[in-house]
Amino acid sequence: MNLLIVAIVIGVLITIHEIGHLITAKIYKIPVEKFSIGFGPTLIKKQIKETTYSLSLIPLGGYIKLKGEEEEEENGFLLQPTGKKLMVVFMGPLANLILGVFLIFLLYFLFGIKYSPPIINFERKVSYFEKGDILIAINNDTIKSFEEAYEFFEKNLNKKASFSVLRKGKIINFNWIINDSFRNLSPLILPVLEKVKKGSPADKAGLKPKDTIIAINDTFIYSWENLIKKIRSSGGKEIKITYRRGRVFSTYLTPQLVAPDTASQKVGQIGVWVYLPKKKIDFFSAFYQAIIRSGYVIFQTFVILYKLIIGEISRKALGGPIMVAQLTYESLHWGWEYFLALFGLLAINLFVVNMLPIPVLDGGRGVIFIIEHIIKRRLTKKELNTAITIGWIIIMLLILFTFYNDLSRIFKTK
């Protein structure tokens, strides 16, 4: 069942993309010769006007064939005005983006939006704050989350504000002219478990959601970040975990060694997910937050691609179809909330990748149409074939490289 869901996810991502092309072509009355959901042997097909719609055996995507897409034909795709061709080409990736926004909206609307408690942490000392301070109010307005406080800092830079914090059971008040040092502040996330992955070392050791981790090998754990560092650096050796569940318990487990995307060495993992409080939000707030989040994901994806190109991030971080399948399969063990988050992320990433200006991708095809519009002529067959050949070489090299990375991860984890 899990493998079937993985196939459906990949199939939906690609099919939605092709439906974007289909709908736009139909709107512009550009003849569509064939539209298929799936590949391989045809299971069902139906002719409606000029289009043959089919359902094929292998549910890993789909494809669309437009009239006059490869050679000029009357009323065909290549003879359409530049604006129409660009709309048909770009609506494929945009359909993926719309799907991604919808999935993130669904995530926020059904499960609520997570936030960090306003507990202060920092690497470098910031003004009057101490680690562990609970921020109660700013200018007598109650602060409910660290994100709310951070937004206030950004909007009121170089302005004076009054602060109330709870420190070791006492309320401390002070005034502070907010300066750039606020960027050193971060939320202190408590080491409380929300989910425990089925079959993981944590699950086998008896850890459960809502457990609070107190110590690793009798060393006090004060934050989630502190917990992760201890587990990652365990070297796969057995560790003692002390935790609170009403009263204090201890258990032993051996972290599983895995090779993260950007690490050259394996690190320990035990299969737990941090607890963060959530707040329910209404329909419109969920939609607004989904748009904001999607924009952030798009920006960060381009930043990561840039860092990969200049070598600031290891190219071993690149993953291909195997990695996508693994992540999707993995998400099913964490539950629907995690699954929706990953599904939305994959849809948005597919939008970004398809918009890259590489010939054979939609972004590259769009660039070719724009160039043709500027020079007021179609590219010659030789010029077009050269561009397409370069595009395919880039894509094939990327596919081979990502497959190599995927297989390396698999064999490194065994």
Give the model's pLDDT for residue 4: 74
DSSP letter for each residue of 95-151: HHHHHHHHHHHHHHHHH-EE---SBEEESS--TT--TT-EEEEETTEE---HHHHHH
Tokens of 116: 């960090």
Q: Find out whether 7 and 60 touch, Cβ atoms under 8 Å.
A: yes
Superfamily of domain 120-187: PDZ domain (2.30.42.10)
What's the CA dihedral at 199, 202, 203, 206 to 10 degrees? 150
Give the model's pLDDT for residue 10: 81
Hey, which CATH number is domain 193-276, 2.10.109.10, 3.40.50.300, 2.30.42.10, 1.10.10.10?
2.30.42.10
Q: CATH topology of 120-187 equal to that of 193-276?
A: yes
In order along the chain (414 residues), what is the average pLDDT of each group of 10 residues? 73 89 94 87 89 83 85 88 94 95 95 93 91 94 94 94 94 94 93 90 94 95 92 88 95 84 69 91 94 93 84 70 73 81 92 91 93 91 90 87 75 57
Helix and strand counts by DSSP (H, E) for the chain:
10, 18
Q: Find out whether 66 and 33 touch, Cβ atoms under 8 Å.
A: yes
**Phi/psi of residue 158, nearest 5 degrees:** 70, 15
Q: Which amino acid is at 111?
A: F
Give me the residue spans of the domains in the chain: 2-111+344-412, 120-187, 193-276
How far apart, in whole angstroms, are the C-alpha atoms of residue 227 and residue 21?
Answer: 47
Give the model's pLDDT for residue 233: 86
Tell me which residue of 262, 257, 263, 269 sits closest to 413, measured CA to CA: 257
**Phi/psi of residue 43, nearest 5 degrees:** -90, -45
- pTM (2 d.p.): 0.82
Give the model's pLDDT for residue 258: 77
Q: Which long-range contacts (CB under 8 A, 24 or more apart) does 53-60 make?
A: 59/7, 59/8, 59/11, 60/7, 60/10, 60/11, 60/14
